[in-house]
Amino acid sequence: MGKSLNPSKRQKLIAHYDHRHLQEQPLIPGLPDHVAELCLSRVHPSLLYSVCRSWRRLIYCPFFPPFPSLYAFFSSSDNEIQLLSFDPMSSRWETVPPPPNPLRLLVHHPSFLCRNLPVQSISVSGNLVLLAATAPNFNPALSRPLIFSPLSRSWSLGPPMETPRRWCAAGASGPTVYVASGIGSNFSTDVARSLEKWDLGEEDEMDDFRWKKMRQLKDGRFSTDAIDAVGWRRKLCMVNVAKQGILYDADNDIWEQMPEGMVGGWRGPVAAMDEEVLYAVDEGKGLLTRYNQDGDNWEVIMEVESLRGACQMAAAGGRLCVICGDGEILVIDVVAAPPKFWAVQRPAELEPLAVHILPRLSRLDFLLPTVS
């Protein structure tokens, strides 16, 4: 979070930004704007937002250090998928520019009355990556990843996957995206045992703009459901619906047995803060827990009734965002002592599918469409 642009990209964005918005008056009287920007970058955005219009516009500029925001995929009753961003400064949902080609994804179907068909997305290096979903004909919907950059407000395509899939394990470690197991157009043992990676940090290197096959799983037991492969200390942590756990060592390309205590406390959605601290929600009891590696156990942090039935969680910037059983989105500040939590009201008649914490959207014009 808070990732800054490199100098060349910063200059390109400045060139496209209408600087007249910021020059209605000096940012700080008596100082050149580029010096004032450096001074104001040390002030919390919530303070800048509330002082004056020019400072409010500044915090949304493409070249100003971004603050974290909540992003969520929503579905409507007619299977329409929307990506929205919740701005913590204005406390409003904002529409995200759609991909160039409309997505046709299947989420609701009469054959699956008790659940949604999964739409699998992950956060990588400040970007949102959409990896797997189901098409209306029940085939994999995506032949290559779709990547959204909040800082440039643009979509791009990742490298083609050798076998497009759904119901897979998806995750990231550092800038590297991993996809394991799953089902293609038809079930295949090779696909169910496969692991592939793609380094998003090397997207400008054509020789590396491809998926690389890594060491296979020993069987296909992780192909029966959509699974979060949680990146933690250079390992991917995976637990299937049968509560069977496994670890993938990204540095050494080997699979390891998951510690008994770790898999025993994996009773709902799990997310890693900065890939260092694992948090889990016990969806049955409404408990938020933290993994203790030394003792191989989960320590209870707090109990919140709203967490019962939780189905997905994201972690970044000292906060957790959780989709609860009733569709409520709960934000938990785990840095505060004691931890604080509050609900974010979701847009009417939309059901949250997945939440992410990413840099706020850059704004080329401060007045953009919002949704209530």
Delineate the domains of the chain, giving CATH numbers in brackets: 24-65 (no CATH), 66-366 (2.120.10.80)
pLDDT at 337 exceeding the cut of 50 = yes
CB within 8 Å of 137: residues ≥ 6 apart: none
Query: CA-to-CA distance for 331 and 313, rounded, in angstroms?
Result: 10
pLDDT at 305: 96
Residue 193 in contact with residue 216, Cβ under 8 Å? Answer: yes
**pLDDT of the residue at 103:** 81
Task: Give the global pTM.
Answer: 0.88
pLDDT at residue number 22 = 44
Residue-wise pLDDT for 281-305, tens only, equals 999 999 999 999 999 999 999 999 9
Cα 169 off chain centre by: 15
Asked whether residue 369 carries a pLDDT value surpassing 60, the answer given is no
Q: How far apart are CA 278 and CA 231, in angstroms?
A: 9
